[in-house]
Structure 1
Amino acid sequence: MPELARTLPASWYCSQPLYQLERKAVFLKSWYLLGPVTRFLVVNERVSYEIAQKDIHVYRISKTSEFPGPGDLRVVNADNDTELPSYVTPTGLLFAALSQSAPSFHEFFPNLEPLLSTVDFTRRPYRRSIKYEGNFNWKTMVDGYQECLHCQYTHPSFSIYYPPTFYTVYNHENFSQHIADPKKPNDGLFLYFFPNCTLNVYGGGMSSFRVCPTETPGVTRMEFDYYHISDGDKFEDYFRFVRQVAIEDFELCEKAQANLERGVYGEGILNPEKESGVAYYQERVFDLVSEQYEEDKKIEILDHDRKTTESSVGLVVETSA
């Protein structure tokens, strides 16, 4: 019998030093969904983002067509206006990285574009954004998104449309696809982008959220963007529905984080079928953080050896003199 996947220890949800390792190992080397090009229609109008304490701006620099293309958008470091890596998909989604140390878009998300090609993202105009902080670690929210064992009990309205009985998660390199019913694979598009972005497209609406860690491990800022083919009552009905689901998740995450910090929960076993999405992303976090830790340790040893050598050389020089 194969060994079952275990969760990350509770300490990983509460530790400041571990978050600093995550920031270097995960966040500064990843790509992020910033939104459909319909979010950036006005030339020179800056849209601000902050991910893992890195401030970035996005703005349209030219208008060659109704919607911005690859050469029409610029993503920059907010501190010095230097350009950051960015990519616009053929169907109109903008992704960006926080530093030049990140791999290319296609290296980070191989085989993603065929899946995105099923949706024309320019057909859903931007409607609204909201953001607020919650008392939970960023991974606490991703844990909840990456499984749906809790959906039937905490999301009764969502479960009416998407029963969790057949819910399946397919994990790919740095992204996961959620399918409510394998017999209806085209009934909506639900994606998780490692490490902290989501995209949910169904009916006439589309939403995305970013789970943004703050400097405090137990506090996370949630950022939501909403799009819809219709405005007025149709959009407001959709907005109320998706906000209800988001509020239910928010309350669940705050309770889970409180248990993690009180020591009620340490670590456990993940269901190999129903929690494969959690196992996948947590393993990615663990591997990247472990690699960063070993890399930092080597640098620390080399730095110590260099200082020791310099000190010895200085002592020899002084003695000789």
Structure 2
Amino acid sequence: MAELARTLPASWYCSSPLYQLERRAVFLKSWYLIGPVVRFLDVDEKVSFEIAQRQIYAIRVSAATEFPGKDDLKVFDASTGDPLPSHVTPTGLLFAALSPSAPSFHEFFPDLEQLLAKVDFTKRPWRRSIKYEGNFNWKTMVDGYQECLHCQYTHPSFSVYYPPTFYTVYNHQNFSQHVADPKKPDDGLFLYFFPICTLNVYGGGMSSFRVCPTEDPGVTRMEFDYYHLEEGAKFEEYFQFTRQVAMEDFELCEKAQTNLERGVYGEGILNPEKESGVAYYQERVFDLVRQQFEEERDKHEAQGDSSGTDSAHTSRMVKIEA
């Protein structure tokens, strides 16, 4: 019998040194969904973002066509003014990395564009963006998005439209696709992009959110962008529905984080079917953090420096077996 996957230990949700290691291992080496190109229609308007304490901005530099293409959009480091790696998909999504040392877009997402080709992301205009902080670790929120074991109880309104009976998560390289009914794979598009971005397309609306860690491992900033074919009452109805689902997640995450910090929950076993999405992304986090830790440890040892990342506190957590 295959060994069942275990969750990351609670300490990984509460430690500042561990988050700094995650920042170097995960965040500075990943790609992020910045948004559909319809978010960036005005030439020379800077749209600012902050991801893992890195300030960046996207800007449309030219307007040869109605919607900006790959040559019209640029992303820059706000503190240095240096250009950052960016990519516009053929169907109109802008992605960017935080560092030139990140792998290329196609290296990071080798089989993503084929799936994205099913949707024209220029069809739904940008309507609204909101952001606020929550008292939970960034992984606490991703845990909730990536599992479908408790959807029927935590999201009763969403479950009316997408019953969780056959809900399935398909994991790819650095992204997951959520399918409510495997017999209807084109009934909406629900994607998680490792490590902190999501994209949800259904009905006439589209929404995305970023789970942005702060320097405090117990505080995360949630950023939401909303798009819809309709204005007025139609959009407001969609907006209120998606906000209800988001707040159900928010409340659950704050309660879960409290249990993690108080030691009520330490670690456990993941359901191999209903929590495969959690197992997938947590394993990615663990592997990247361990690799970064070992590289930095070896570097410090070679330099004769016993301080640096090889502290007893960080070492104990990174060496915990997944």
Distance, in Å, in 2 between the alignment partners of 1:222 and 1:67 is 27
Equivalent residue number for residue 94 of structure 2? 94
User: Displacement of 1:179 after TM fit?
Assistant: 0.1
Equivalent residue number for residue 211 of structure 1? 211
User: Displacement of 1:245 after TM fit?
Assistant: 0.2
* Secondary structure of the structure 1 residue equivalent to 2:304: helix
Distance, in Å, in 2 between the alignment partners of 1:171 and 1:66 is 35
CA spacing shift, 1:60–1:11, aligned 2, 3 Å: same
Distance, in Å, in 2 between the alignment partners of 1:296 and 1:214 is 23
* Secondary structure of the structure 2 residue equivalent to 1:121: coil
Q: Does 1:26 align with 2:26?
A: yes
Equivalent residue number for residue 314 of structure 1? none
* Secondary structure of the structure 1 residue equivalent to 2:230: coil
Equivalent residue number for residue 272 of structure 1? 272
User: Displacement of 1:149 after TM fit?
Assistant: 1.4
Q: Letter of the aligned partner of 1:175 in structure 2?
A: F
- Equivalent positions of 1:76-155 (< 5 A) are 76-155=76-155
1:145-187 Cα offsets, whole Å, 9 max, x none, are 0011121111110000000111000000000000000111000
Distance, in Å, in 2 between the alignment partners of 1:165 and 1:303 is 55
Equivalent residue number for residue 17 of structure 1? 17
Query: Percent identity over the alignment?
Result: 79
* Secondary structure of the structure 2 residue equivalent to 1:122: coil
Equivalent residue number for residue 201 of structure 1? 201
User: Displacement of 1:269 after TM fit?
Assistant: 0.3
Q: Letter of the aligned partner of 1:143 in structure 2?
A: D
Equivalent residue number for residue 233 of structure 1? 233
User: Displacement of 1:304 after TM fit?
Assistant: 1.3
Compute the TM-score of the two structures, normalised by the length of structure 1.
0.95
Q: Letter of the aligned partner of 2:81 in structure 1?
A: D
Structure index of larger Rg: 1
User: Displacement of 1:190 after TM fit?
Assistant: 0.2
- Equivalent positions of 1:187-198 (< 5 A) are 187-198=187-198
User: Displacement of 1:81 after TM fit?
Assistant: 1.0
User: Displacement of 1:305 after TM fit?
Assistant: 6.7
Q: Does 1:180 align with 2:177?
A: no
The answer to which of 19-28 and 145-154 deviates more is 145-154
* Count of matched residue pairs: 306
Q: Does 1:254 align with 2:216?
A: no
Distance, in Å, in 1 between the alignment partners of 2:258 and 2:3 is 29
5+ residue gaps, structure 2, are 307-322
Equivalent residue number for residue 59 of structure 1? 59
Distance, in Å, in 2 between the alignment partners of 1:120 and 1:36 is 10
Q: Does 1:42 align with 2:42?
A: yes
Q: Letter of the aligned partner of 2:288 in structure 1?
A: L
Distance, in Å, in 2 between the alignment partners of 1:90 and 1:211 is 25
Compute the TM-score of the two structures, normalised by the length of structure 2.
0.94
Equivalent residue number for residue 313 of structure 2? none
* Secondary structure of the structure 2 residue equivalent to 1:227: strand
User: Displacement of 1:129 after TM fit?
Assistant: 0.2
CA spacing shift, 1:268–1:125, aligned 2, 3 Å: same
More helix by share: 1
* Secondary structure of the structure 2 residue equivalent to 1:123: coil
Distance, in Å, in 2 between the alignment partners of 1:293 and 1:163 is 42
Distance, in Å, in 2 between the alignment partners of 1:150 and 1:61 is 45
1:249-302 Cα offsets, whole Å, 9 max, x none, are 000000000000000000000000000000000000000000000011011112
Equivalent residue number for residue 164 of structure 1? 164
Equivalent residue number for residue 291 of structure 1? 291
CA spacing shift, 1:305–1:202, aligned 2, 3 Å: closer
Distance, in Å, in 2 between the alignment partners of 1:82 and 1:20 is 23
1:91-131 Cα offsets, whole Å, 9 max, x none, are 00000000011000000001100100000000000000000
* Secondary structure of the structure 1 residue equivalent to 2:226: strand
